[in-house]
Structure 1
Amino acid sequence: MGELSNCPKCNTLFVKTQFRTVCDACFKEEELAYETVYKFLRKRENRKALLHEVVEDTGVAEELILKFIRNGRIQLSNFPNLGYPCEKCGKVIREDRLCSSCKIDINQQLHQMDEEKRIIERNKPAKVQSTYYSQSTKK
């Protein structure tokens, strides 16, 4: 079941679900924008358009087009020059959330952290167990 939320675009109250993150009125506007973008991209001469060209020619905001791509509504396999920015460095990519160089960088950082943990564990002094004896006062 959805939760009650304010629309991020127009601030009206609506029931937010997994599939709808905006109110009904804004959702209809998004659908019209999607139709505009899709009609533009369906034309043979526009299939090789870059993202900024699609934005300029359709008048649809770049963030909305990126939302369509991330939600899988626009399949990048059909449009060879379209892409979206890497979430770390901003380089244009066509799959996942990070480019290959950012993935490699993150994996190297994780490996380095693991190595540092191993070195710290290895260099910790061994716990010395002490035994205490008490002397009896009774003789």
Structure 2
Amino acid sequence: MADLLNCPNCGKLFVKALRSVCNDCAKEVEEKYNKVYQFIRKRENRRATIDEVTEGTDVEQSLIIQFIREGRIHLSQFPNLGYPCEKCGVMIREQRLCHSCAKDLRQGLHTIDRQKEFDARQKKRENAKIKAYASLDNRLNR
């Protein structure tokens, strides 16, 4: 069953089915996509950066980034287009994080895993000591 929502762009009430915006806003987004795509398809604009595309089309940079992330604009055809890393903002052409931020994230996760393993070994040692003391107490009480 479809949900009745307010459009996040214009506030109109609409039935959410396949899109997250109303029909009027969806048409507007499509028009902007066509404007961007027509701009970058021109031979002289194929090497444009995202800032140049924004300036040349008057389409918001966030919307152009959305088109790229959705796969509607293929970066393999446009060598200078990219989008910002979600952590540091450096321009990238694939994934969500740049290599440096991804490496930092992996190292952080590795450190957490090592700490969890260390904590588990410590707890196991403490439990072993407790059992040893309990068994000594049991023998003395007999």
Superposed pair shares fold, TM > 0.5: yes
Taking structure 2 as the reference length, the TM-score comes to: 0.86
Q: 1:56 to 1:4 in 2, by over 3 A?
A: same
Summarize the alignment of residues 9-24 of structure 1 with structure 2, pairs less than 5 Å apart: 9-17=9-17, 19-24=18-23
* Percent identity for Structure 1 against Structure 2: 53
Give the whole-Å Cα distance in 2 for the aligned partners of 1:47 and 1:88.
27
Instruction: Indicate the RMSD between aligned Cα atoms, in angstroms.
Output: 1.8
Which of the pair is proportionally richer in helix? 2
1:6 aligns with 2:9: no
Summarize the alignment of residues 119-130 of structure 1 with structure 2, pairs less than 5 Å apart: 119-124=118-123, 125-127=126-128, 128-129=130-131, 130=134
Give the whole-Å Cα distance in 1 for the aligned partners of 2:77 and 2:2.
34
Give the whole-Å Cα distance in 1 for the aligned partners of 2:74 and 2:63.
15
Summarize the alignment of residues 46-61 of structure 1 with structure 2, pairs less than 5 Å apart: 46-61=45-60
Taking structure 1 as the reference length, the TM-score comes to: 0.88
Deviation sequence 1:41-98 (CA, Å, 0-9, x none): 1100000000010011111111111111111111111100000111111111111111
Give 1:26 deviation, angstroms.
Answer: 0.5
Q: 1:105 matched to which residue of 2?
A: 104
Q: 2:71 matched to which residue of 1?
A: 72
Residue 127 of structure 2 aligns to which amino acid in structure 1? A
Unaligned runs of 5+ in 1: none
The alignment covers a number of residue pairs equal to 133
Q: 1:62 matched to which residue of 2?
A: 61
Tell me the secondary structure at the aligned position of residue 37 of structure 2: helix
